[in-house]
A and B are shown apart, each in its own frame.
Chain A
Amino acid sequence: MAKWMSVAQVKEKIEESSAEEVTARYLEVIGKSKINGYVTVSDKALEQAKKIDEEGHSGPLAGVPIAIKDNISVVGLPNSCGSKILEGYVPPFNAHVIEKLLAAGAVVLGKTNMDEFAMGSSTETSHFGPTSNPWDLERVPGGSSGGSAAVVAAGEAPFALGSDTGGSVRCPASFCGIVGLKPTYGCVSRYGVVAYANSLEQVGPLANNVEDIAVLMDVIGGYDRKDSTSIDNKTEYQKALVDDVKGLKIGVPKEFFGEGIHPDVEKAVWDAIHKCESLGATWKEVSMPNINYALASYYIIAMCEASSNLARFDGTRYGFRESAENWHAMVSKTRADGFGTEVKRRILLGTYALSAGYHDKYYLKALKVRTLVKQDFDKALSEVDLLMAPTMPNPAFKIGEKIEDPLTLYLSDINTCPINLAGVPSISVPCGFTDGLPVGLQIMGKPFDEPTVLRAAYTFEQNTDYHTKRPPEVA
């Protein structure tokens, strides 16, 4: 059995042999892994696959294995969010996306490593240690869905689910040379996903190719009444897979090609834009003047929402608890010892920014800047069909290189976080290499216009071979 397979190939293999055999093969590859991509491997995966063989499941993903980021609840599997504070916690309910995957016949291989509570761009802040990038084990896979991206890139799962708050699906997709989609806000239910910054985050698929992204979106997308921010918008994602960009107007926002961008990244992205031009699209430069303020606005909003969302972790009902003589000391010690440094830093900053006297200066100001950023997207996308830019300004950096300086690490999200502020869809597809490390092209679209985003990504992929490149053998 080939190590890297598309979902269609996995389904063929299941027809030829069985779901049990296919799952067993993935578990064997995972067993030899050197990348620390999984934090839990499911001991029920084989049983689940066998049941599908016996019952002759007819769902669109019957027997197809999938890896799940460890902030998405799966009954019976520990849900850690990469944190000590959730030690031993096993969710009593499935996330909405998991219910949908199980109904489609998917087999959950396990839970993947992540930056603690999805806060980070490198998967180094996990309580379970960093994940390695399959292209270079000394480098980060990106984050925060680094485990999900790395296991797909290493052939340890055909596809995976991640979550994207400020780029956490697209960043690791770019660093690991795979495809990752951040859907329009409201397209995919967040019910059962542990909240970090709820007005920004979305569950998103990671896969080896655009077609598999569409397959997964057709399963997980759609309205969920249990999520009050879910929007009823019916989209057929696989129907968007058309190899044709003739007549499409592409906008190239100059602010996304700012200072500090790696010259090879810039060249690879421009080559990709010119490739689309040669296939019949047109492009023009557009300006989004407030983008330079998006990063600060994003981090203030994310930290404020985090300080509120993470208040629930107090050691009372589940997870790690520190013993103390009274309630206040118990909660304060539990949170001091249970959370990692970066999570505490963000909770403290969020608490400060919301505290008396500072609310207007930071939080309200950030929300107003968000309006300006959204207006930039509205204006640009009224002139063109899509925007194209680099996903990350640089290729994957070395483990330990940026972790001590939070501001430097935050700056790496400069091209991805504006998208979450505006809530628009955005995909990262492989478009080149620099010194053997993958480079990602980011394609952004109008709200709910995933079909055009997927169409452009699919056309680019069908006419190039970057998505077929695999990392050197590491398992």
Chain B
Amino acid sequence: MITKEDVEHIGWLARIEINEQETVEYMEKLNSVLGYFGQLDELPTEDVAPTYHVAELYNVFREDVVEECLQQETVLANTENKQDGAFRVPKIG
């Protein structure tokens, strides 16, 4: 069971601010879904290998050639928060 403290901690890990009222709502709905997920416990899987990816691909290599990339002004075109060719953000801390 997820507690209110768990919801607050997950919110911090996921960088999503959650207020007091939302904490209770999330707790109830997340517990209902996790209860459903619990059904997997009844299936024995000790000797089963996990499938991370259905297409059995490993490394995909290419020649190390310099190619054209997006221009700096194109990259900054979607923000108003820019300064000296970089993204401007508030201070850390």
Contacts and interface: CB of A to CB of B under 8 A. Distances in A.
B66 interface: no
B51 A348 contact: no
A407 B31 CA distance: 11
Interface in B9-41: 10-11, 13-18, 26, 29-30, 32-34, 36-37, 39-41
A314 B15 contact: yes
A330 B90 contact: yes
Interface string A72-101: 000000000000000011101100000000
A320 B89 CA distance: 13
A333 B17 contact: yes
Contacts of A89: 78
B65 interface: no
Contacts of B43: 290, 293, 369, 372
Contacts of B17: 329, 332-333, 335-336
A407 B32 contact: yes
Nearest to A198: B53
A56 B56 CA distance: 43
A124 B17 CA distance: 23
B85 interface: no
B72 to A, nearest CB: 11
Contacts of B50: 364, 367-368, 370-371
A203 to B, nearest CB: 15
A372 B48 contact: yes
A351 B70 contact: no
Contact of B33 (A88, A335, A336, A406): A406
Closest 8 pairs between A and B when the two form their complex, measured CB to CB: A423-B54, A367-B50, A318-B78, A368-B45, A336-B17, A332-B17, A351-B14, A368-B48
Interface stretch (A11-19, A339-347, A379-387, A429-437): A339-347
A229 B16 contact: no
Contacts of B41: 365
A178 B36 CA distance: 32
A317 B39 contact: no
A296 B48 contact: no
| Interface size class of chain A, counting residues whose CB lies under 8 Å from the partner chain | 35 or more
Nearest to B93: A326
10 contacts: A90-B77, A231-B57, A296-B39, A329-B90, A335-B16, A348-B14, A349-B33, A372-B48, A407-B33, A407-B36
A336 B18 contact: yes
A186 B50 CA distance: 19
Contacts of B14: 307, 335, 347-348, 351
B33 A348 contact: no
Contact of B89 (A316, A370, A421): A316
A20 B50 CA distance: 52
Contacts of A355: 10, 13
Interface in A371-399: 371-372, 374
A296 B51 contact: no
A318 B75 CA distance: 9
A344 B6 contact: no
Contact of A327 (B6, B18, B32, B90): B90
A370 B51 contact: yes
A190 to B, nearest CB: 11
A326 B16 contact: no
Interface of A: 88-90, 92-93, 185-186, 199, 225, 228-229, 231, 290, 293, 296-297, 299-300, 307, 311, 314, 316-319, 321, 323-333, 335-336, 339, 344-345, 347-349, 351-353, 355, 362, 364-372, 374, 406-407, 410, 421-423
B52 A199 contact: yes
B92 A328 contact: yes
Contacts of A321: 81
A293 B54 contact: no
Given A293-B43, A349-B34, A352-B6, A199 B60 contact: no
Contact of B54 (A228, A319, A422): A422
B54 A299 contact: no
A323 B91 CA distance: 12
A365 B51 CA distance: 10
A406 B32 contact: yes
A118 to B, nearest CB: 18
Nearest to A344: B16
Contacts of B89: 316, 327, 330
Nearest to A310: B14
Given A300-B37, A327-B91, A330-B90, A225 B62 contact: yes
Contacts of A365: 40-41, 45
A234 B1 CA distance: 49
A351 B10 contact: yes
A186 B93 contact: no
Contacts of A422: 54
A55 B46 CA distance: 63
Nearest to A295: B36
A372 B39 CA distance: 15
Contacts of B26: 344-345, 348
